Structure 1
Amino acid sequence: MNFWGQLGLYDPASPIQEEMILFHDHAMVLLLGIFSFVCLIGMKLLFNKFSSRTMLEAQTLETVWTIIPALLLIWLALPSLRLLYLLDEQNSSMIIKSTGHQWYWSYETPVGNFDSYMIPTDSLNFGEYNLLEVDNRVMVPYNVNTSVITTSADVLHAFTIPSVGMKMDSVPGRLNFMNMYLNWPGVYYGQCSEICGANHSFMPIVVEAVNVKEF
């Protein structure tokens, strides 16, 4: 994990997360530019000694400050729409279903069905992450398009893996799905991102990407 990842942006492990980080940088450039411009104009107005008591209209100025923000919004909207369409794209070779419970996840995969519980702190092995390790990991082949379907058996949950760019609401009686494509092998951690009860913090998600031959 790099310096920026420690501030909240994980190193991307999927094309979608790469696009999200690019869009984040794109939006930050726009926001910082607007903030700097507003601060500059504010300072100019504070120290400006000129005044005009006769000016009633400034049509040219109104036209400029209408057109420029519209162009900036278009500059922000176009990559946002592209990212939304990429998120909706479905081209999967494998399907995994995840069901949220209070407070664990259950999975239905091509190789079998199982429940996944968090490993207690006193049962962790050396090098394992506290509150993030589970007894049964989800095995997924990398470089293979995989659809993840999620729902809930009781209350609202959220299936979230930040480094993969995946966050879906798990709603009782409803199926939500996203495409997941992992670039390389590794272990990717996530957690339920919807406050679902007293043990909300104790239902982690662990996906392990392996070679398709090992899978």
Structure 2
Amino acid sequence: MKSLKSLGLAAALIGMTLGGASFAQAPAPAPATTSPTATATTPDSGQAPATATTTAPAAAPAAVEPAATAAPAASKIPEFNKPTPGIGQPTEAISLQPQVTDIGLFAQKFDSWLLVIITIISLFVLGLLFWVAVRYNRRANPTPSRTSHNTTIEIIWTVAPVLILLCIAVPSIKLLARQYSTPKPDLTVKVIGHQWYWSYQYPDNGDFEVVSNILTDAQDKAKGEPRQLGVDARMVVPVDSVIKIITTSDDVIHSFAVPAFWTKMDAVPGRLNETWFKVNRTGLYYGQCSELCGARHGYMPIAVDVVTKEQFAQWVAANGGTMPGAAKPASSDATANSPITNPSATTANPEPGAGASTTATENSTAAATPASQSATN
């Protein structure tokens, strides 16, 4: 009897042992939310996801060396003038740059005149406030005045501001009228803004084109140019000549500005704006794009080389152009394909061997974007 009980207990223990072992060896079900792809693409702290489809966004433009090859230069351009410290470039002074045009000299005098007027008005008003606070406070006047009006004072403070405003408005209107009343030009230059460089077309001289790009810091230093103002091809104009500037843009709004000329004109896509200047002194003068136009807006310098008429004729000949009245080379086909004389030249793809002006513009635009992108990546 005892042996049967012992056998029963042993069988029960063996059954329990086998059942527990089988339960322990059963695989646990996988969580429904587990995804191999999600696990593989979950980034570690501070690291980018390790997936083939994940790409890092392009870096924002930083203080990098500007690309000097944003667009191919149209030709080798002789450079006649060297930079002159304090002339035609930014200075450490608070005042305006020295002006080299009649309009600029007038504007500079007007600016000084305005400063005197505003200073006198400000000191007068400040003195009145101080005098009223001291003379008419409660301690000095226990009994307040009951004056309701004063005809003489009211006439004075009405007439005086009108006269002051006339002294400001008359020369200001004259200045604006002179800026936008272009006299008969001696030379016309079409200025085209691009992202991010300038091109200059000379329709009076065979309609050749010059493409101007910023130099690198090393090139600026080697040539003695101000930092981020040097270019590989300058705009060249003759001295003592009326220069009509026609501005437009190939992409977004830019602005052609040369402070020493008192000149600033927006370059708007699809529009032709006009201004002018007449420089009375030879030299090299710098400007910059003055309208926010994208990532490399700060890398669009302008360099204007003002030379003698003889030097200008030499420069035109070096670029394959002609002076007015001279025979035009038979091989030149720039005028026929100019956007000024033939608007369709800028909208149609040129055939091989087409005019140099249109080809230079399209090639420059095509080459500019990749160079600027590589500089900002």
- So what's the TM-score if we normalise by structure 1? 0.95
Q: 1:65 pairs with 157, 162, 173, which one?
A: 157
Equivalent residue, structure 1, for 2:279 = 182
| C-alpha contact (below 8 Å) 1:99/1:170 kept by paired residues | yes
Matched, 1:94 2:187: yes
SS at match of 1:29: helix
Equivalent residue, structure 1, for 2:196 = 103
Per-residue CA distance 1:117-167 (angstroms, 9 max, x = gap): 001112232421110000000110000111011111111111000000000
Matched, 1:81 2:173: yes
- Aligned pairs for 1:18-29 within 5 A: 18-29=105-116
Q: What is the Cα deviation at residue 55 of structure 1? A: 0.9
Q: What is the Cα deviation at residue 8 of structure 1? A: 4.1
Q: What is the Cα deviation at residue 115 of structure 1? A: 1.0
- Report the AA paired with residue 287 of structure 2: G
SS at match of 1:105: strand
| C-alpha contact (below 8 Å) 1:148/1:179 kept by paired residues | yes
Matched, 1:131 2:228: yes
RMSD: 1.6
- Aligned pairs for 1:1-215 within 5 A: 1=86, 6-48=93-135, 49-50=140-141, 52-91=144-183, 92-109=185-202, 110=205, 112-124=208-220, 125-215=222-312
Q: After TM superposition, where is structure 1 displaced by more than 6 Å over at least 4 residues in a row?
A: none
| C-alpha contact (below 8 Å) 1:5/1:11 kept by paired residues | no
Q: What is the Cα deviation at residue 89 of structure 1? A: 2.1
| C-alpha contact (below 8 Å) 1:106/1:115 kept by paired residues | yes
More strand by share: 1
- Report the AA paired with residue 154 of structure 2: E
| C-alpha contact (below 8 Å) 1:98/1:108 kept by paired residues | yes
Could you tell me which runs of 5 or more consecutive residues in structure 2 were left unpaired when the two chains were aligned.
1-85, 313-377
- Report the AA paired with residue 32 of structure 1: T
Distance in 1, matches of 2:277 and 2:134, equals 54
| C-alpha contact (below 8 Å) 2:191/2:248 kept by paired residues | yes
Distance in 2, matches of 1:202 and 1:99, equals 15
Q: What is the Cα deviation at residue 176 of structure 1? A: 1.1
Distance in 1, matches of 2:122 and 2:288, equals 34
Aligned length in residues: 214
SS at match of 2:107: helix
Identical aligned pairs, as a percentage?
35
Q: What is the Cα deviation at residue 52 of structure 1? A: 4.0
| C-alpha contact (below 8 Å) 2:249/2:269 kept by paired residues | yes
Of the two, which has the highest radius of gyration? 2
Distance in 1, matches of 2:304 and 2:223, equals 19
Could you tell me which runs of 5 or more consecutive residues in structure 1 were left unpaired when the two chains were aligned.
none
SS at match of 2:310: coil
Distance in 2, matches of 1:115 and 1:52, equals 74
| C-alpha contact (below 8 Å) 1:100/1:151 kept by paired residues | yes
